[in-house]
Amino acid sequence: MSEYAFFEATRIFKRAVPLMVKYKVPTTPHYFSLWYTYCAGTHPELNRAIDDTVAKFGLCSREKCDGLIESFLIGDSKKELDNFRQKVENMVADLGNSMDATVSDTEEFQDILSSSVTKLEDVQNKASSGADNQLVIHELLQGSQHLLSATSQYRLQVTTQKAEIDALKKKLEEYKTQATNDALTGCLNRRAFDKQMADYDAENVEVSLIIVDIDHFKAFNDEYGHQMGDNVLKLVANKLEQSMNDFASVYRFGGEEFAALVPRVSFNNAWKIAEKARTTLERLSVTDKRTGKKINSITASFGVASRFGGEEMGELLARADEALYDAKGKGRNCVMPKSR
């Protein structure tokens, strides 16, 4: 495990266990997997379901935890994956059977052709009658027709299965997208962030990290509801991607937090990129369709840190976190850098 991965796992662990104790969840590995995922922020629908549960009951019983695990960590994704695997296995089996049949027919025709050539040679050597020639030609024609029929069927089978393969490839691409993209906002997710951080670490890339936290989001969410909150998250994600598209990749970091990785730029340039994104966000407005009320300012706090040669990724993340909290302490809606 890399230093960064260890840092992240420890960070999430420190959040998960106190929450389990608070909501009276048995601290077993079975339930820990649920709360670790919750604290990692990689499954927004799961987080919402847990938030709704604890808001309603003040705790999360064994039964509720079991239901959440079944619904979000096992449920449909496992069924879809099993179904996908079964389709591939069936298709390969069918294709193999078709190929075996065609090979068998081809070998049979090769035998017919070989035998017919021998007979033709005999006919030529012995100057046999026209009737002998006609018999050989008839056998060749029958063999050719049989092979033509077999290959036609095989072509139809392959054409049909090619369509199935294309559909399965499309589905596989969807699975890949689901694995790396946040379902709500469409931007890259925490899993993709962790992988990119690990790649930069392995390649010793000098990279800047920008962490973004939407200001007063919880109060906003409580006042206007989850649907309005979701609209804000999608809007912020879209604007961050637009403003950083030429420089950085944007990730849903968890909850109302986003992150951007900016490789191979100076610390000052990373700061400027964050400031541009901040001013873009504060000009946003969103309308509550239920009431018609317009919210004219959506702001966010930004923390910026840059990796120095050979520095562990965990240190970079910790420093960017500190910068973000400094920004909140300064009154929010600002960019705070954190150098070494």
Q: Which positions are annotated as active-site residues? A: 256
Q: CB 48: neighbour CB atoms within 10 A?
A: 14
Structure-block tokens of residue 225 = 């509801």
Residue 338 near residue 326, CB atoms below 8 Å? yes
φ, ψ (nearest 5 deg) of residue 167: -65, -40
| 259: DSSP letter | E
Query: 259's torsion region: left (phi>0), alpha (psi -120 to 50) or beta?
Result: beta
Closest C-alpha to 231, from 288, 296, 294, 291: 288
Going by C-alpha positions, the residue among 246, 261, 275, 242 that lies closest to residue 305 is 261
284 φ, ψ (degrees, to nearest 5): -75, 155
- Three-class SS of residue 265? coil
- CA 63, CA 111: separation in Å to the nearest integer? 68
Helix (H/G/I), strand (E/B), else coil: 208: strand
309: phi then psi, degrees, rounded to nearest 5:
-50, 125
